[in-house]
Amino acid sequence: MKVLIVLGSRNPQGQTARAADALLQGVTDEGSQGERVFLPKMKIESCRQCEDSGWGICRTEGKCVIEDDFAAIVGQIRDADAVVFANPVYFSDLSESMRAFTDRLRRTCMHEAGRDKIADKPAIGICVAGGGGGGAPACAVSLEKVLQRCGFDVVDMIPARRQNLDMKVNILEITGKWLTTCPSSG
């Protein structure tokens, strides 16, 4: 099985990457493959709200008009068997790069063509509050909401904070192993 990890942090040595890597370890221990994408290192513009109605070709074609790295990452999501969204908690919410990406994905997924190979795909969210430690559960609610609207089968959401990350990495590793069993609520 192929697992794609989409990170809303730019730091491969950071706390979010540490959490994501723990899950990835569980995935690879079971003989599956994993790949990481660091969203802040990619070119992902914000939605332009193209037309006066607020919509654009996202609604009519399930695509986005902006020519940046969005479409390529969506292609990677389609190619994967499961997707993990790992997000650093900013202001108890999503990071700007995760927000920009999921905002546009949610729009394209309103159309059947946009939902192709995304609908019902198992997804896991990880939210790491690496400062004071507050806000991971609130961020997890935000992330779950947008992923569900995209049509993913959100099979788990894991909040973590700097103060419990040593403990949570164990859970994340086990979760990675479990993900390879292709859990699906359907």
User: Which structure tokens are listed for 75?
Assistant: 């292609």
Selected from 11, 25, 33, 164, the binder of ligand FMN by CB under 6 A is: 11
> Which residues, 77 to 96, sit near ligand FMN by CB under 6 A?
88-92
CB of 90 to ligand FMN, least distance (A): 4
Task: Report d(CA 29, CA 177) in Å as an integer.
Answer: 7
Helix axes 15-29, 165-179, angle to 10 degrees: 40
Contact predicate 121/42, CB 8 Å: no
Task: Report d(CA 58, CA 32) in Å as an integer.
Answer: 33
Q: How many CB atoms lie within 10 A of CB 144?
A: 18
16 binds ligand FMN (CB under 6 A): yes
From the list 22-30, 76-84, 104-112, 131-139, the region that binds ligand FMN by CB under 6 A is 131-139
CB of 128 to ligand FMN, least distance (A): 4
From the list 6-14, 65-73, 111-119, 176-184, the region that binds ligand FMN by CB under 6 A is 6-14
| Chain residues in the site for ligand FMN (CB under 6 A) | 9, 11, 14-16, 88-92, 128-135
